[in-house]
Amino acid sequence: MQFRKVDMETYYRRGVFRHFSEDCKCSVSITNRIDVTELRAFSKRTGTRFYINFLYCLSHALNAREDYRLAWDWQTETLLCWDRIHPTQYIFHEDTETFTVAYTEYDPDYRVFYARAEADCEAARQTRDYGLDSAAHPNWFDASCVPWLSYDALHVELPDGYLYFSPIVNWGAYREENGRFRMPVTVRLNHAAADGYQIARVFQLLEQAICELTESVC
């Protein structure tokens, strides 16, 4: 894993960062229903899993901007930026109603990522251990699906003052609306790292990644 230290003298959000990391420590989450019609059709056409295809598009989008790859070094009080971040998945076991964590290394090559994610999901299904190992995976973001519900809003609480910068992304079941399939996606980011614009860009980049993968006209 590689990273660089962010130069706070030239950081473009220096003033905003100081305010939301010192005076008003909080996070922001936005839920938006995105159009996944083409991704659904692509998955059916190629015989691939919609879940992994979406996970790839999400990982691709979050690696597109430095704002989503930030981290806070508590020992040196330094803002860091990872070269790359990777998705932490949660594989559900119906028999025990519990989850197993699956770490999948992101690769911009779709076929490489798909094969890794598929293997990681299968390995997680073979155990009932929770398997969380955050210490060994500092540059990983939470990616969690809520397939039982096509929800309208979702909120993730973190302790006040906790400078946790990794994105937390949830998504629910898609549903048909006026002939199109739309899916709720919730993006949570620390306010010191992102305002409404940066979070909105996640959705725009995600839709762009879906267009690029499915080769549709957007």
Mean pLDDT of the chain: 95
Q: Is pLDDT at 160 greater than 70 in this prediction?
A: no
Confidence at residue 159, expressed as pLDDT on a 0 to 100 scale: 75
Neighbouring residues of 127: CB distance < 8 A, sequence distance ≥ 6 = 100
- CATH number of residue 103's parent domain: 3.30.559.10
DSSP 8-state class, residue 112: H
Confidence at residue 162, expressed as pLDDT on a 0 to 100 scale: 75
Confidence at residue 216, expressed as pLDDT on a 0 to 100 scale: 59
**What total of structural domains would you count in the chain?**
1
Confidence at residue 124, expressed as pLDDT on a 0 to 100 scale: 97
**How distant, in Å, are the alpha carbons of 27, 106, 119 from that of 34?**
22, 22, 27
Confidence at residue 217, expressed as pLDDT on a 0 to 100 scale: 45
Confidence at residue 23, expressed as pLDDT on a 0 to 100 scale: 93
Confidence at residue 37, expressed as pLDDT on a 0 to 100 scale: 98
Residues 175-207: pLDDT tens digits?
A: 999 999 999 999 999 999 999 999 999 999 999
Residue 47 backbone zone (phi > 0: left; psi -120 to 50: alpha; other: beta): left
| Domain span including residue 119 | 3-214
Assigned token pair, 124: 């997680």
Q: Indicate whether this model's pTM tops 0.85.
A: yes
**How distant, in Å, are the alpha carbons of 127, 135, 140, 142, 211 from that of 186?**
28, 25, 17, 11, 20
Q: Is pLDDT at 218 greater than 60 in this prediction?
A: no
